[in-house]
Amino acid sequence: MTTSVEADRNIPQRGGTPWGKPFPAHWGAVPLFSELRERQIKNKGNVEGNVLSLSYGRIVRRDVESNHGLLPDSFETYQIVEPGNIVLRLTDLQNDQRSLRVALAGERGIITSAYLCLEGYNGIEHRYSFYLLHSYDLNKVFYSLGGGVRQSLKFDELRWLTLPLPPLSEQQAIVAFLDRETAHLDGLIERKNRLLELLEEQRRAVISQAVTRGLNPDAPLKDSGVPWLGQVPQHWEVRPLKFEAQMESGHTPSRTVEEYWVNCDIPWVSLFDTAHLKQHKVIYETKNMISQLGMNNSSARLLPAGSVVLSRDATVGRVGIMGIAMATSQHFVAWVCGKRLFNEYLYWTLTGPMQEHFQSLTNGATISTIGMPEIRQFAIPLPPLAEQEAISEHLDMQTGKLDVLRQKLEQSIAHLREYRAALITSAVTGQIDVREEATQS
């Protein structure tokens, strides 16, 4: 019997899901409220202390001791969830259309009341209802409910959502099949993610070796005098970065002055560009731009092409080289390299061995940041200019090979996730018959 997600069942079909998928004629079609109801049980008296969170489509325990993220003064406002409850994060719908918003609680605990908690009450198999709502999430159903995209949804906007409802025995077969198949796919994805981590470790090691020890393994070494740097070749210098490059920062023109944000033609590096910086060594465009008038009335200034930029707030440590003249927000620091410092070598130094140093300098309970006084104290290894250029060329070649492997792994993971999503959708809409497949080993 086929389980191809492309193959329709050779049985009569009826109706459809909110995104147009038909389902078998012998299945029922019911509104969500007839099988699932909202559960709202507050944690009065702080009777439950197991704090949970929804992360990447999973309910996980939250580490309240490390104080990552905002924490309330009391957890009495949180709601109690039980194993088998379905938790939906239906907030920030306008700005975030990528997150996984549905998860199944595996243990008793408490979670923010900003989330919607559902429980089955009319005989529906709870894991089937989870897989079904998970497929709705994967197919972006929630974003179009309630008359267009809203910032958030409540139970009232979900109550009439159509649920395809197979007989209970078939629900159980679907769950058994999907539990088995998704566990297999999740294992493959986890192993490939681990390979990505190993590739990243290797990449950092290659960079650190080159920018701190050079390309000659037999070069005599000396102590750099910088704790994070260790030993460097004897013929190298170790210099304060501020003596070898002109340090610059930026600013955000006032958002209340409309004229500053019209006729914008100046590329402006902001926190919206951190993901782009992760993928590109040289940047030629930015997510947002500012106007000449806006720049003239702020502390931002136009920096020349070739400037090296570093994010110092929120996502700390993203580095890039400006391919054209740009300005930056105050969340970045930039350097215009002097005659003795090759900008690509500085890029590699900031990208490699200094990353751990950045983490040791960050402060801020909710948003990590590196202060300007700490940045002014940065010191770097400084080989002769010709050696800096050779190191940079070497790293372009070596990291390029690793990046090709990374891209292949990322593509493979993306394909596995797409197949996983298609498999779930096909199973919960009856496009594949899993009643016999579920009994296979």
Residue 148: its pLDDT value, please?
53
Same domain, 236 and 334: yes
pLDDT tens digits for range 115-128: 999 999 999 999 99
- The answer to which of 4-18, 237-251, 397-411, 416-430 has the lowest mean pLDDT is 4-18
In this predicted structure, which of 34-43, 87-96, 218-227, 365-374 has the lowest mean pLDDT? 365-374
- 248 contacts 322 by C-beta, under 8 angstroms: no
pLDDT digits (tens, 9 = 90+) for 389-421: 999 999 999 999 999 999 999 999 999 999 999
Angle, CA 241 vertex, CA 205 and CA 326 arms, to 5°: 90
Is the same domain home to 157 and 233?
no
Task: State the residue range of the domain holding 111.
Answer: 28-165
CATH number of the domain that residue 113 is part of: 3.90.220.20
**250 and 139 in a common domain:** no
76-133: pLDDT as tens digits: 999 999 999 999 999 888 777 788 999 999 999 999 999 999 999 999 999 999 999 9
Dist CA 163 CA 141 (whole Å): 12
* 249 shares its domain with 341: yes
Tally the domains of the chain.
Answer: 2
Q: Which two tokens stand for residue 73?
A: 């003064």
Residue 131 and residue 257 share a domain? no
239: in domain: yes
The closest alpha carbon to 319, from 359, 354, 371, belongs to 354
C-alpha 341, offset from chain centre: 34
Beta bridge partners of 311: 332
pLDDT recorded at residue 14: 53
| Model confidence pLDDT, tens digit, residues 243-300 | 999 999 999 999 999 989 988 999 999 999 999 999 999 999 999 999 999 999 999 9
Q: Which pLDDT belongs to residue 1? A: 42
248 three-class SS = strand
Query: Confidence class of residue 315 from pLDDT cuts 50, 70 and 90?
Result: confident
Does residue 175 belong to any structural domain of this protein? no
Q: Give 42's contacts (C-beta < 8 A, 6+ positions apart).
A: 76, 77, 78, 79, 80, 113
Statement to judge: residues 357 and 234 lie in one domain = yes
Residues 46 and 146 in one domain: yes
